[in-house]
Amino acid sequence: MSGEPLLSEDELRALDRLRITRRRPTPTDQPGDWRTGRVGSGVLFADHRDYTPGDDLRYVDWNVYARLGHLVVKRFEIEENLELTLCVDRSLSMAGAKARAARRLAAALGYIALGRMDHVRLAFLPTVAGAPVELHRGKGRAGKFLAALEGTPDDGATAHGHDVARILSTTKRRGLAIVLSDFYEPQNLVASLAGLRTRGMDVVALHVLDTDDVDLTLGDSLLAVDRETGAEVKVDVTPTFLASLRATWHRRADSLERWCVGREIRYQRLEVHTPLWDVLAEMLGSGAAVGKAT
Amino acid sequence: MSAVLLVAAFVLAQPTALWGLAALVPIALFHLYFRRRRRVLVPFTPLLLESMGPVRREARFKRLREAASLLARMLALVCAVLALGGLRPAEAEAPVADLFVVVDADITTAARESGGATRLAHAQELARAFVRSVPTRGAGQLSALVSVLVAGQAPRLLVPPTRDLADALKRLEPALVPAPAEADLGATVALALEGAARREAARVVVLTARAFEPPRTAIALDVLGTGTTRRDQRIVELGVDHAEDGGGYAVRLAAINDEESARTRRVVVRVDGEIVASEDLTLEAGDAREVQFEVPSPRQAAWLEVELEGDDAFPGNDAVEVRLAPVPKPSVLVVHSGRVRPYVMATLEALGAEGLIDKDRSGYVRASDVTKARPRDVTLVDGVGLPRDALRPGAYVFLAPLAGALPFELGEEVRKPLIWRTVPGHPLIDGLDFRRAFVVRGRALKGAGLEPLAYAEGRPIIAEGERGGARYVVLGLDPEGSMLPVQGALVLLVRNAILRLARAPVAPLKPFYRRGEALRPEVDLPGGADADLVWDGVRKDALLAGAGRGRARARIASDGVVWRVPAGAVGRVRVATGAGTAAAWSGWTSLVDLDPARTIAPARPAAEAPPAAAARADQATRWRTLLLALAVLFLLLDLALVARARSAAAQG
């Protein structure tokens, strides 16, 4: 990894103004800042309802009784902490600009979540041996969180389906899962997303795209070696081939996007050369996992 | 093998230039280095494979284009190197063989081909083409010696060995003339081969349409055809004999059609220019036919011409001319002892009735009065002895001769002979059969100049001969008491003897003589044996000098010293003897050259004229230009391929 920190101090300060959003609440055991929308023992007033015997008298609204002579109880919205699972693709196909871009965005998202006292579960695809998931909570863990992101090397081949299964085996909670990957999955393009969605998680797919992947020099005769598998392919870069390659590349992204939309998975493209703040602004605009702090 | 032959077919003037081919190595390495497959790491090869499917063919074309580009570049270099090295065909560098051309000028080369030109003219044009086919070294100098020989009746050197092209063509310019008879092609070819054997490398080209078996030789020898036409009908045989009735001539003619289709020619017989007979003669392809005509005896000697009227390619064998002598009607004087024997009288009566003798001028005389009688063409002495001074130069028939003046001697008596032998084929005794004859007696004959014709018991009994100007036929048999067969044979013998002795002085020469035939007269020529012969055709020994009229001096005698008709001697011939003397005599006959084997039918296909050779210097320049042009062409092709590739890259 580059010696330069993933996020500068200025960037960290700016991130404090953002929060993680999610499309729908998911039940957690840990009350926190996240409004779940469910009525329960939270602190945010929701509405009133008629008193029924057995209701906790602490929740009787005496002011209303004083004015109306009618017993009603106050209802409160349950607030709980967000459990954010960041799945960062560290396969060799991501090596380079894609890996850095993905990790910078993951760092930003994780930092935002930690700043809101949310749980951040950091997982790599492929998973790191022995510790498939690192759990972080609170700003105090931000340093370790960022260090883990920076220090974990790119390695291994993409097998998202298998890796996601391992990650999910470490928790039964649902939450927000953000997958940052180029989705160069030879077996099943959507294996990771499908696994997370099946668990009932709110899933965001951040498709890391690098045009360098399809930027071959016309006229070249190449022996293309797969970074992950070592497979070799003889390639003669002709105009038609180049056009076909680019079309295929776009088609795969479009295909993935269509698949996500059909399954209520938020999909966002992350062009590696796009500045981080532009990406966050785009996510802010589309409501894909990022929102302004209240 | 073909590659080896291809390499052997070319040579280099500057072989060191081939070192330039070493530049092929960096070109190939450069190409291989820049066109090698660069190893690159890619994130996801399935993406490439998925994109590759529909464009594999284009990729193959790209590789092909790159290979074509390399090939064009290398070929450009090879062409440039070969051009600098002075590549040229080996034949342009190899020593050119000296050329000896033999043109057959046989009499048959007078045949006109379909284009109208004679076969000899075509052969002459071929000879010119062969001379032009020898490469030049510039300035009209040939790279090899050329020589042209003409095969006439004797070999002739038309173009002596030379390298001067203009001189050779100039000598070949005048039209050649066919030989009057068969050309001696073998001798001419042998002469050419002898000349070629002295050269380091030589080639002999024989231009002839005739069948010719070339001699075995190590020298390159080509026999090439010069004509195609077979359109010829020809007279191959002629016979002129006295008609059986003795009143004229029987003319027999054989003709052959060499054409490949049937043809009708009209046979016209003329005597001194006037047509006396004619007949259409239809000859199938390759057919030979014979026709016969009866020609009445002319009053005086005349020329008889037989001609195949109509057109063909070779008129030289369509007509023959012979000399006809008038059939003589001799007068006969019978010398008897006082009584003419009846069978003699009957014989003369019969000959007179047939018009074979001049009956009015004939007569009978006693032996004692013979000196007083007017001389006749033939004197028949019938069993009587002539007075001593009665034997004069002239013709005599002796029947049962007795003592007296005789041009021969009498031998012993032969009685009742049983064993007979005759000289076969002699016209005098033709038709006589003595085997069953009974003869009571006879007398053997002998003497200088006597030629026996029949023998009885081994002794000459019938003979002919000449002594002291007296030509005679003698029958040493006494017809008296003999059997009728003998008497019957005697009549024939007397008739034959009278006619033979009578004709000889009038026409001592035959109507015609063939080439190679002995010009032997029936009797010695009246003016003596030393003769001057003059004819219209050329004479063999005059051919080398290019002379025209034939002339010869020879001893023409019936005793064996003869003159043979040489080849090329054809047409009318005048024979003169006794020039400057009182006995001066001259007569005519004809020399004909009939050869059934002489045909214009070509023995081989006509050859095509070889192309004129370019000058060697021009050839080298032409090859250099060609190679340089090819080099430029290949470079342009390479540039076009590269430009196309770059254009495609720019569009991408």
How do residues B316-337 score in pLDDT, each as one tens digit? 889 999 998 877 678 899 999 8
Q: Does B57 touch chain A (CB under 8 A)?
A: no
How do residues B38-50 score in pLDDT, each as one tens digit? 888 888 888 888 8
Indicate whether A3 belongs to any domain. Answer: no
CA–CA gap between residue B539 and residue B404 (Å, rounded):
50
pLDDT interval class at A3 (50, 70, 90)? low
Task: Say which amino acid occupies B135.
Answer: P
How do residues B105-146 score in pLDDT, each as one tens digit? 999 999 999 888 999 999 999 999 999 988 887 678 888 999
- Are A189 and A53 found together in one domain? no
Q: Which positions in chain A touch B63 (Cβ < 8 Å)? A: 221, 236
More confident residue, B536 or A86: A86
Tokens of B91: 């034949």
- Are A55 and A90 found together in one domain? no
Contact B490, B498 (CB under 8 A): no
For chain B, positions 125-184, list CB contacts with chain A under 8 A: none
Strands A202-209 and A266-271: parallel
Closest partner CB to A223 (pick from B37, B50, B645): B37
Q: Which residues contact residue B488 at a Cβ distance below 8 angstroms, ignoring those fewer than 6 apart? A: none
Contact B277, B293 (CB under 8 A): yes
How do residues A4-15 score in pLDDT, each as one tens digit? 888 888 888 888
| Number of other CB atoms surrounding residue B285 within 10 Å | 12
How do residues B396-411 score in pLDDT, each as one tens digit? 999 888 788 889 998 8
- Are A74 and A89 found together in one domain? no
Indicate whether A4 belongs to any domain. Answer: no
Question: How many alpha carbons lie under 13 Å from residue B290 in its C-beta half-sphere?
Answer: 7
Answer left, alpha or beta for residue A286, where phi above 0 means left and psi between -120 and 50 means alpha: alpha
- Are A60 and A96 found together in one domain? no
The phi and psi torsions of B15 (rounded to 5 degrees) equal -60, -25
**Least CA distance to A219: which residue of chain B?**
B649
Question: How many alpha carbons lie under 13 Å from residue A249 in its C-beta half-sphere?
Answer: 22
Specify the pLDDT at position A162. Answer: 82
pLDDT interval class at B258 (50, 70, 90)? very high
DSSP string, chain A: --SS-SS-HHHHHHHTTEEE--SS----SS--SEEEEEEES-SEEEEEEE--TTS-GGGB-HHHHHHHS--EEEEEEEEE--EEEEEEE-SGGGTTHHHHHHHHHHHHHHHHHHHTT-EEEEEEESPPTT-SEEEEESGGGHHHHHHHHHHSPP-S---HHHHHHHHHTT-----EEEEEE----SS-TTHHHHHHHHTT-EEEEEEEE-GGGG-PPTT-EEEEEETTT--EEEEE--HHHHHHHHHHHHHHHHHHHHHHHHTT-EEEEEETTS-HHHHHHHHHHHTSSEEE--
Specify the pLDDT at position A104. Answer: 92
- Are A73 and A210 found together in one domain? no
Domain B230-319 has CATH 2.60.40.10: yes
Tokens of B332: 């006969």
How do residues B367-398 score in pLDDT, each as one tens digit? 989 888 888 889 999 888 888 888 888 889 99
The phi and psi torsions of B143 (rounded to 5 degrees) equal -85, 0
CA–CA gap between residue B249 and residue B510 (Å, rounded):
12
- State ipTM: 0.79
- C-alpha closest to that of B362 among B372, B371, B375: B375
- Are A128 and A226 found together in one domain? yes
Specify the pLDDT at position A10. Answer: 87
Distance of CA A160 to the CA centre of its chain: 15
* Substitution target from A187, A236, A249, A272 for chain B, most B beta carbons within 10 A: A236
Q: Which positions in chain A touch B648 (Cβ < 8 Å)? A: 218-219, 238-239
Indicate whether A214 belongs to any domain. Answer: yes
CATH number, residue A213: 3.40.50.410
- Are A41 and A146 found together in one domain? no
Residue B549 has pLDDT above 80, yes or no: no
- Are A139 and A260 found together in one domain? yes
- C-alpha closest to that of B172 among B162, B180, B181, B185: B162
Taking CB atoms and an 8 Å cut-off, how many pairs form between chains A and B? Answer: 111
pLDDT interval class at B498 (50, 70, 90)? confident
Identify the CATH assignment for B95-229+602-613 out of 3.30.420.40, 3.30.70.1560, 3.40.50.410, 1.10.3720.10. Answer: 3.40.50.410
How do residues A248-272 score in pLDDT, each as one tens digit? 999 999 999 998 988 888 888 889 9
State the nearest Cα–Cα gap between A195 and chain B, in angstroms: 22
Over residues B264-286, mean pLDDT: 92
CB–CB contact B59 A241 (8 Å): yes
Number of domains in chain A: 2
pLDDT interval class at B166 (50, 70, 90)? very high
Specify the pLDDT at position B503. Answer: 61
Mean pLDDT estimate for chain A: 82
How do residues B74-92 score in pLDDT, each as one tens digit? 999 999 999 888 887 776 6
Evaluate the CA torsion angle B573, B574, B578, B580 in order and state its sign: negative
The A-side interface with B (CB below 8 A) comprises: 92-95, 98, 182, 184, 186, 213-214, 218-229, 231-245, 247-249, 252
Indicate whether A2 belongs to any domain. Answer: no
Task: Say which amino acid occupies B54.
Answer: P
**Count, residues in chain B:** 652
- Are A52 and A111 found together in one domain? no
Specify the pLDDT at position B402. Answer: 79
Identify the CATH assignment for B508-598 out of 2.60.120, 1.10.40, 2.60.40, 3.10.20. Answer: 2.60.40
**Least CA distance to A237: which residue of chain B?**
B59
Specify the pLDDT at position B236. Answer: 92
User: Lowest-confidence range among A172-181, A206-215, B555-564?
Assistant: B555-564
pTM for the structure as a whole: 0.49
CB–CB contact A186 B62 (8 Å): no
Q: Do domains B95-229+602-613 and B332-506 have the same CATH topology?
A: yes
User: A264-278 burial, b if ≥16 CB within 10 A, otherwise e?
Assistant: ebbbbebbbeeebee
Indicate whether A133 belongs to any domain. Answer: yes
What superfamily in CATH does domain B332-506 come from?
A: Class I glutamine amidotransferase (GATase) domain (3.40.50.880)
CA–CA gap between residue B113 and residue B231 (Å, rounded):
9
Q: How far is CA A118 from CA A28, A141, B363, in A?
A: 11, 11, 182
Specify the pLDDT at position B543. Answer: 46
pLDDT interval class at B299 (50, 70, 90)? confident
CA–CA gap between residue B483 and residue B544 (Å, rounded):
65
Q: Three-class SS of residue B73?
A: helix
- Are A190 and A92 found together in one domain? yes
Indicate whether A212 belongs to any domain. Answer: yes
Query: Cα dihedral angle (B86, B87, B90, B96), rounded to 10 degrees?
Result: -30
Q: Does B33 touch chain A (CB under 8 A)?
A: no
Over residues B280-307, mean pLDDT: 90
Q: Where are the domains of chain B?
A: 2-90+618-651, 95-229+602-613, 230-319, 332-506, 508-598
Residue A292 has pLDDT above 70, yes or no: no
Closest partner CB to B649 (pick from A214, A218, A224): A218
**Count, residues in chain A:** 294
Q: Which range marks the domain in which residue A213 is found?
A: 9-28+82-292
* pLDDT above 70 as % of chain A: 84
